[in-house]
Amino acid sequence: MGALTVGVLISGRGSNLQALIDAAATPGYPARLAVVISNVPSAAGLARAAKAGIATVVVDHKKFQMREAFEAEVNRALDDAGVELVCLAGFMRLLSDSFVRHWRDRLINIHPSLLPAFRGLHVHEQALAAGVRISGCTVHYVREGVDDGPILAQAAVPVAPTDTPETLAARVLVQEHRIYPLAVRLIAEGRVRIVEEKVMIEEEDGSAVPLFNTATL
């Protein structure tokens, strides 16, 4: 069976992109990164992709008046590369309902909280302000709402009394780099089913269960 063709959308640093690049370089990984698209020309993740020999495309949203025109250009780059699964990795532009519908069940995101807690921006500030003792990260299918959609994988981390948004973000990021490649692997292996908007993982015997083994503390 051929590897699943993946496109990654970024806006910045690209450390989750790097985790996917590193995973895809391991023998037997069932997905291949075909294109990395950034809406920010200066995104550091573009150099990571180039270093790994992955095609890069910049679609600078500032050059487009209409979100639809921007997204049409993104879609052209994804289609040109034969992309079957789109991974948002620190991609910070809101995608329209029509884009999300077009890629329904083929579009996933990583978010640095235990969704549905703490949507949107400044997530770690929100977690510290709420006083939670546990935070974490979530890989989810993207739906029309922001930071909404069936949950593929989550990992938990402790919140320390001395944490700042920066120290908490760093602890969560380590787990992001574990669960994003894991989630892409499960999809690429064809083991993921969405049943009543919940993700089920197919076992060898054909039964389907929720993913069980991603939690860490």
Partner whose footprint covers residue 95, from ligand GAR, ligand 4DW, none (CB < 5 to 8 Å by kind): ligand 4DW
What's at 19, amino acid-wise?
A: A
Partner whose footprint covers residue 22, from ligand GAR, ligand 4DW, none (CB < 5 to 8 Å by kind): none
58 counts as binding ligand 4DW under rule CB under 6 A: no
Contacts of 168 (CB under 8 A, 6+ apart): 124, 127, 128, 135, 157, 159, 160
Q: Which residues pair with 88 in a beta bridge?
A: 9, 109
95 counts as binding ligand 4DW under rule CB under 6 A: yes
Told to judge if 140 belongs to the known catalytic residues of this protein, a careful annotator would answer no
Tell me the DSSP string of 4-27.
EEEEEEESS--HHHHHHHHHHTST
| Catalytic, out of 61, 111, 124, 177 | 111
- Which residues form the interface with ligand GAR (CB under 6 A)? 10, 12-16, 45, 89-90, 110-112, 123, 173, 176
What's at 207, amino acid-wise?
A: S
Which of 21, 36, 85, 88 lies at the binding interface for ligand 4DW (CB under 6 A)? 88
102 counts as binding ligand 4DW under rule CB under 6 A: no
Window contacting ligand 4DW (CB under 6 A); options: 52-60, 143-151, 161-169, 170-178: 143-151
Which of 94, 133, 205, 206 lies at the binding interface for ligand 4DW (CB under 6 A)? 94
**Helices within the chain (DSSP H only):** 15-24, 45-51, 67-80, 97-102, 123-130, 165-188
Partner whose footprint covers residue 118, from ligand 4DW, ligand GAR, none (CB < 5 to 8 Å by kind): none
Which one, of 177, 110, 184, lies nearest residue 147 by Cα?
Answer: 110
C-alpha R_g of the chain: 17
Active centre residues (catalytic): 111
Residues of the shown chain interacting with ligand 4DW in the complex, contacts defined by CB under 6 A: 88, 91-95, 100, 109, 142, 144, 146-147
